Amino acid sequence: MNFDVEVKISLKKGMLSPEASTIEKALALLDYEVKNTQTLNIIKFTIDAENKEVASEQVDQMCQKLLCNPVIHDYEITISEE
Amino acid sequence: MNFDVEVKISLKKGMLSPEASTIEKALALLDYEVKNTQTLNIIKFTIDAENKEVASEQVDQMCQKLLCNPVIHDYEITISEE
């Protein structure tokens, strides 16, 4: 069975985000004033698994091993049937 | 008035994504088989504007000028009152 997976990766609260502060500064140079800038990454893919639980377990392992750095990232997994 | 803005940036259909194919290959090396990998970026920030229309217009300009490359990216703007 195929499942659509979406992994949302964000920096943990309190982590400094050089990417976000660069965006903020660059926008300020163009005279746009924005605050509380945050960036998130989303990785989407399709996975073949027996059922939703197995898929969820596998994706969690992928996050721990490769997709995220659990020390600095929070992640949120959404799985839906294709 | 403050508005919460979320800009979702993805590659246009048909554009090759080296990032996505690298993720796919790396997962394959760990024995996870996934397909149709896609990556998206989300930029969130707060902006001060008179009303929603003005905010929307400003964010669209930011996307055109700085946040996205309109040649290769699609973007989707979501604005909500704080």
Q: What is the pLDDT of residues B16-50, one digit of tens each?
A: 999 999 999 999 999 999 999 999 999 999 999 99
pLDDT at A82: 78
The answer to whether residue A76 neighbours chain B at the CB level (below 8 Å) is: no
Residue B78: strand, helix, or coil:
strand
pLDDT at A8: 97
The answer to whether residue A45 neighbours chain B at the CB level (below 8 Å) is: yes
Cross-sheet strand order for the sheet of A2-11: A73-81, A2-11, A34-48, B34-48, B2-11, B73-81
- What CATH architecture applies to the domain B2-81? 2-Layer Sandwich (3.30)
Other beta carbons within 10 angstroms of residue B63's beta carbon come to: 19
CA torsion, ordered B40, B82, A74, A58, to nearest 10 deg:
-60
The answer to whether residue A46 neighbours chain B at the CB level (below 8 Å) is: yes
Ranges of each domain in chain B: 2-81
Average pLDDT of A72-77? 97
Q: Beta strand pairing status for A73-81 and A34-48?
A: unpaired
pLDDT at B11: 96
Task: Check A40 against B44: CB less than 8 A apart.
Answer: yes
Distance linking the first and last C-alpha atoms of chain B? 8
Residue B82 has pLDDT above 90, yes or no: no
CA distance A63 to A76: 10
Task: Check A42 against B40: CB less than 8 A apart.
Answer: yes
CA distance B60 to A30: 13
CA distance B2 to B16: 37
